[in-house]
Amino acid sequence: MNAGPSRARRIGVLLLWLAAVLAGVAVISRTHFSADLSAFLPASPDARQRVLIEQLQSGVASRTLMVGLEGGKDAAQRADVSRAVGKGMRASGLFEQVQNGDHSEWKEAGTFVFDRRYQLSPEVSPERFSVDGLRDAINDSLSLLGTPAGNMVRPLFERDPTGETQRIAEEMIPATSPRTEEGVWVSRSAPRAMLLATTTASGSDLDAQAAGIAAIEAEYAKATQGMGAEAPKLQLSGAPVFSVQSRDKIKGEAIHLAIVGAIVMGCLLLAAFASPKALVIAVLPVLTGVVAGTAAVALVFGSVHGLTMGFGSTLIGETVDYAIYYLIQARGAAVRGTGWQRWRDLNWPTVRLGLLTSVCGFAALLFSGFPGLAQLGVFSIAGLVAAALVTRHGLPMLAPDGATGMGMRRQMARLAGGIVDALPRLRMTFIVLGIAAVALMAWQGGELWRASLSSMSPISKASQELDASLRADIGASDGGTLVVIQAADEQAALRATEAAGAKLDTLVSEGQLSGFETVTRMLPSIATQQARLASLPDAATLRTRLNEAVTGLPLKPERFEPFIAAVDAARALAPITREDLAQGPMAPVVRALLFERPGGGWSALIALHPTDRFDKSKLAAALAPLPEVQVVDIGDELGSLYARYLHEAFVQVLLGALAVVVLLGLYLRSLRRLVAVCQPLLLAVVLTLGGMAVLQVPLGILHLVGLLLIVAVGSNYALFFDQLQETGRADEDTLASLMLANLTTVVSFGLIAISDIPALSAIGRVVAPGALLALLLSAAFGKRRAR
Amino acid sequence: MRIDGGLRRARWAVALLLCAAAPAWAFDFNELMGLLARQKQGEASFTEQRYVRGVDGPLAASGTLSFTAPDQLVRRTLTPRPETMAVDGNNLVLSRSGRTRNMTLDSVPEIQGLVEAMRATLAGNPQVLQRYFKPTVSGNADAWALDLAPLDARLSSQIAALRLSGKAGEVLGVEMEFRGGDRSIMTISPKR
């Protein structure tokens, strides 16, 4: 009979624990994992940023896929594959639009434009239907007859002699189209056929995006069946591909890191404890922490960002420490089964303080205006608290006296003792290095923090290059500059868009823009449509005016009876509404360029096609008189967003650090001890930053989060040395547990440091050396051990 | 001896004549291209008569043409309505009725074919011309005609016949016949 916790209590605690873990797993299994940038966009943006975020989350750019079919036998074969893939994609229903240069789908749109020409044509005005206006317009059409362009005009001439259809078509055909060969879009720079598709599902629905990508791959496989080595290669790019790739990559990397981490950690723990049971027990707080952290994020935010998940692997490094401290420090009880009580009284307060300092540090992130950072905060706090609770309450039920085996801890302790003895001699060296690091940082200044938002993107350089190349081929507006119209209702938005379009027409004729895309070409405001229809004369008036207008022209007035009938019929037409367009071929364009905003009100977008003479300041000046219209430069906005983000993160990290210091001060109740504890932490941070500066690493937000982690993890070491000095006693087990805890931390962050996901490696590269430094410096600045 | 010598001279003269005349009989596509390629730059005025079904009498237009090797071509119509079509490399800029439109030629192969009929002929670029047309040359260097049969299905569904004519390195006329019976005849007078 041992004196461990009672059987009932044991079962109770273990069941509770199991139930909590199962509940966490249940929450996680129902959670969506996201990987889009939007988690790293502010939750309370200004007006422009809101546009940007809406666009990034669900705008047409977030739903646009570019497909390349490169190589293969010849252009004809690529064109066949392109047509087959395009047909399959259209039939799948997953895409609202699939374009590959095959214009057959525009026939329906052509009919619509022709039928509604007197509502859609910008030329329709009372002057246009005066005698002079009619003569002028008919002359204009005549000047096209008998030329290659006349082939389009002639079949419509009797019904549309003023050329309204031609006028509308002129505007709708994009100025920058891809090259066409064998009837399909092809690249200008590579032997490649091109398709452009927009998914029906929103850009933030990654599962649907993944399904869309899989459908393209399946259609490609079907279309190239039997071609063997001669088949053209499939290339895919666009925001959905990037999002899905990032998610998969982060997922894969998190799993990979967890497995490698577990193996390395397992070896270390086995070496330390020589007991598989201890190994299993040590892993339990870690697993519980990861489950709790993920579930907490899922509950608070509704979805878990892939990066948060990857970050989970960093938690291993800190939570495993708790188990190590427990397993080692609960050993050697005088009465069997009471080790856990002694640990609870003697060591738990220190562990708890370490936990609290970490929680304080991460709590600062909770208040971040960026959901991505707040997620990291929630994850870390929930994970750490759960792991500590498991260590405090769960582990004593499983191993009341800590770990049994001795393993190689004696050697570890000896080594640690040697290091602890030797380090104080290096104090001066560390201080000099610290001063040098501060000087270097002061010299580099803000230049040190030069990493950009894109440096957080896990998209490889090759993928980015493929994307740029496909984008250039398609002539897709890269969305660099957007004109955004915001208004209270749909009609107000359309009227403001028309006003903006009029200003942009000037820029087109100045040669600054090769064109622009606006929704009002297919959906003019009702006011404009009514004004146009109101300018149409009745049949008798039109007939009289026409007779006069064609005098002297080589045309008989009787030819225009179909025209008079068409105008008369148009006068009775109801205005075109968004609902009229919702089912037709123009629906995707309308949907992309005009939408109801989530927070109320309506937005319209105008996509610009700038030429090399484009001058952004001229654009801003031209649109300045229109209060509803804003010019959003995506690059600039993202840049300023990141700057704001970085600034906010700085403040939060500083506040977090301050909270840690205050907490330590409250606990230690001694300025001397507080300084002794903070000194190595500060120096560890300074030296890590100095090292980064020497290595010319551009630092960003995640490095900053890493610094906070150094303080959180390092404070545990510093506190141990503080305790060591207060009690004047450093037994082998404490030294061994410190060394082991540090090793596991350095190893787990070291693994993250070599990850090829930039966001993770940034954290790892800061924390791995920083944690090691924190331990060494804590030893160096502790008093020499009393012998 | 003298007669003999005279005969020999005469034979020489005949041979020389034959040699000189030979190109005139077998004036071919490549030679025409060679002649045209020599002219790197040119300005001309043009008049155009278009015969359109349903329109009584021809529609007339006039203006100027300018070409700079290898790939710049501007057609400026002055009457009856000012209009400009400027091609530079792959870019086409159309200006009419106070509006400007930009296009890329290679995105619309049928327009590119029509542009090359004129541009590649003026540049004397046989490869480009043969990419879009099957050329047939008739006449001689002093009065040649170049018939271009479109290879592109879409273009040939619009154009029934396309014939350029000229003298030596100069294009003096372009005749086009469209499917459906419309015709256009352009007469070009180079500026010197």
pLDDT tens, A362-373? 787 787 767 777
Q: Which residues of A touch B87 (CB under 8 A)?
A: none
Distance from CA of A314 to the nearest CA of B (A): 52
> How distant, in Å, are the alpha carbons of A143, A554, B64, B175 from that of A551?
17, 8, 29, 29
In a domain, A476, yes or no: no
Question: Who has greater pLDDT, A709 or A729?
Answer: A709
Residue B139 reports pLDDT greater than 50:
yes
Omega cis (within 30) before A349: no
B100 → closest Cβ in A150, A154, A509: A509
Q: Which residues of B touch A180 (CB under 8 A)?
A: 106-109
The answer to whether the CB atoms of B50 and A175 lie below 8 A apart is no
CA-wise closest residue to A698 among A456, A442, A439 = A456
- What per-residue confidence (pLDDT) applies to B62? 94
Q: Which residues of A touch B102 (CB under 8 A)?
A: 175-176, 514-515, 611
Average pLDDT value for chain A = 84
Distance from CA of B31 to the nearest CA of A (A): 29
- What per-residue confidence (pLDDT) applies to B13? 53
Distance of CA A669 to the CA centre of its chain: 44
The answer to whether the CB atoms of B96 and A475 lie below 8 A apart is no
> How distant, in Å, are the alpha carbons of B46, B132, B134, B144 from that of B170?
13, 21, 20, 10
The answer to whether the CB atoms of A555 and B56 lie below 8 A apart is yes
In a domain, A622, yes or no: no
Least confident among A487-501, A601-615, A681-695, A750-764: A750-764
- What per-residue confidence (pLDDT) applies to A64? 87
Tens digits of residue pLDDT in A585-605: 788 888 888 988 877 889 898
CB within 8 A of A754, min separation 6: which ones? Answer: A761, A764
- What per-residue confidence (pLDDT) applies to A192? 92
The answer to whether the CB atoms of B183 and A146 lie below 8 A apart is yes
Question: Do A608 and A481 touch, CB atoms closer than 8 A?
Answer: yes
B52 → closest Cβ in A139, A145, A509: A145
Please give the average per-residue pLDDT across A289-300, as a whole number.
91
Q: Which residues of A touch B97 (CB under 8 A)?
A: 140
Mutation for B interface: A121, A125, A147, most B CBs within 10 A: A147
The answer to whether the CB atoms of A151 and B52 lie below 8 A apart is no
Closest chain B residue to A506, measured at CA = B99
Distance from CA of B61 to the nearest CA of A (A): 8
Q: How far apart are CA A495 and CA A527, in angstroms?
A: 8
Tens digits of residue pLDDT in B11-58: 555 554 444 444 445 678 888 999 888 888 889 999 999 998 888 888
Question: Who has greater pLDDT, A528 or A303?
Answer: A528
- What per-residue confidence (pLDDT) applies to B47? 95
User: Using 50, 70 and 90 to split pLDDT, how confident is the model at A568?
Assistant: very high
Q: How far apart are CA A567 and CA A128, in angstroms?
A: 13
Residues 539-598 of chain A whose Cβ lies under 8 A from any Cβ of chain B: 554-556, 559
Tens digits of residue pLDDT in A241-252: 888 887 787 778
The answer to whether the CB atoms of B182 and A180 lie below 8 A apart is no
Q: How far apart are CA A24 and CA A321, in angstroms?
A: 22
Q: How far apart are CA A488 and CA A436, in angstroms?
A: 58
- What per-residue confidence (pLDDT) applies to B1? 42
The answer to whether the CB atoms of A140 and B61 lie below 8 A apart is no
Tens digits of residue pLDDT in B115-124: 999 999 999 9
Residue B82 reports pLDDT greater than 60:
yes
Residue B2 reports pLDDT greater than 50:
no
> How distant, in Å, are the alpha carbons of A380, A684, A779, B9 from that of A427?
33, 13, 10, 113
B59 → closest Cβ in A142, A157, A179: A142
The answer to whether the CB atoms of B83 and A143 lie below 8 A apart is yes
> How distant, in Å, are the alpha carbons of A28, A180, A196, B91 from that of A177?
46, 9, 12, 11
The answer to whether the CB atoms of B182 and A154 lie below 8 A apart is yes
Distance from CA of A475 to the nearest CA of B (A): 10
The answer to whether the CB atoms of A556 and B56 lie below 8 A apart is yes
- What per-residue confidence (pLDDT) applies to A6? 80
Spell out the domains of chain B, with CATH numbers in brackets. Answer: 28-190 (2.50.20.10)
A146 → closest Cβ in B59, B109, B111: B59
In a domain, A193, yes or no: no
Helices (H), ranges, A367-450? 371-389, 395-398, 409-422, 427-444
Task: Confirm or reject contact between A154 and chain B (CB < 8 A).
Answer: yes
Mutation for B interface: A127, A138, A145, most B CBs within 10 A: A145
Q: Concatenated DSSP letters for B14-32?
A: HHHHHHHHHHHHT--HHHH
Structure tokens at A304: 């878990």
Q: How far apart are CA A773 and CA A780, in angstroms?
A: 10
Average pLDDT value for chain B = 84
Residue A57 reports pLDDT greater than 50:
yes
Q: By percentage, how much of chain A surpasses pLDDT 70?
A: 93
User: Using 50, 70 and 90 to split pLDDT, how confident is the model at A785?
Assistant: very low
> How distant, in Å, are the alpha carbons of A63, A221, A540 from that of A214?
15, 10, 60
Q: Which residues of B touch A181 (CB under 8 A)?
A: 109
The answer to whether the CB atoms of A508 and B50 lie below 8 A apart is no
Tens digits of residue pLDDT in A477-523: 555 788 889 899 999 999 999 999 999 988 988 888 888 889 999 99
Tens digits of residue pLDDT in A125-153: 999 999 999 999 998 888 888 888 777 78
In a domain, A530, yes or no: no
Q: What amino acid is encoded at A372 in this protein?
A: G
User: Using 50, 70 and 90 to split pLDDT, how confident is the model at A533?
Assistant: very high
Task: Confirm or reject contact between B162 and chain A (CB < 8 A).
Answer: no
Distance from CA of B42 to the nearest CA of A (A): 23
Residue B179 reports pLDDT greater than 60:
yes
Residue B79 reports pLDDT greater than 50:
yes
Highest mean pLDDT among A81-85, A281-285, A345-349, A462-466: A81-85
> Does residue A148 sit in helix, strand or coil?
coil
In a domain, A190, yes or no: no
Least confident among A114-118, A422-426, B30-34: A422-426
In a domain, A24, yes or no: yes
CA-wise closest residue to A716 among A359, A288, A312, A374 = A359
Q: How far apart are CA A440 and CA A447, in angstroms?
A: 11
Question: Who has greater pLDDT, A711 or A494?
Answer: A494
The answer to whether the CB atoms of B61 and A177 lie below 8 A apart is no
B103 → closest Cβ in A139, A150, A175: A175
Distance from CA of A235 to the nearest CA of B (A): 21
Give pTM, 2 decimals: 0.73
Tens digits of residue pLDDT in A313-348: 667 677 888 888 888 888 877 788 888 888 888 888
Residues 158-187 of chain A whose Cβ lies under 8 A from any Cβ of chain B: 170, 173, 175-181
The answer to whether the CB atoms of B56 and A139 lie below 8 A apart is no
Task: Confirm or reject contact between B61 and chain A (CB < 8 A).
Answer: yes
Which domain covers residue A285, as residue numbers?
7-30+242-457+638-781
- What per-residue confidence (pLDDT) applies to A753? 87
> How distant, in Å, are the alpha carbons of A26, A270, A327, A696, A748 from that of A280?
23, 10, 11, 41, 17
User: Using 50, 70 and 90 to split pLDDT, how confident is the model at A464?
Assistant: confident
Closest chain B residue to A183, measured at CA = B109
Tens digits of residue pLDDT in A148-194: 877 778 888 889 999 999 888 888 777 677 888 888 888 888 899 99
Structure tokens at A565: 């009938």
Q: How far apart are CA A642 and CA A634, in angstroms?
A: 12
Query: What residue has token string 């896990």?
Result: A458
The answer to whether the CB atoms of B52 and A143 lie below 8 A apart is no
Residue A768 reports pLDDT greater than 60:
yes
B50 → closest Cβ in A145, A179, A188: A145
Task: Confirm or reject contact between A139 and chain B (CB < 8 A).
Answer: yes
Residue A479 has a CB neighbour count (10 Å cut-off) of 20
Structure tokens at A611: 């030429």
- What per-residue confidence (pLDDT) applies to A36? 63
Q: By percentage, how much of chain A surpasses pLDDT 90?
A: 26
Residues 90-149 of chain B whose Cβ lies under 8 A from any Cβ of chain A: 96-104, 106-111, 114
User: Using 50, 70 and 90 to split pLDDT, how confident is the model at A780?
Assistant: confident
The answer to whether the CB atoms of B107 and A177 lie below 8 A apart is yes
- What per-residue confidence (pLDDT) applies to A760? 77
Task: Confirm or reject contact between B5 and chain A (CB < 8 A).
Answer: no
Q: How far apart are CA A169 and CA A174, in angstroms?
A: 10
Question: Do A196 and A65 touch, CB atoms closer than 8 A?
Answer: yes
Question: How many domains are there within chain A?
Answer: 1
- What per-residue confidence (pLDDT) applies to B177? 92
Task: Confirm or reject contact between A143 and chain B (CB < 8 A).
Answer: yes
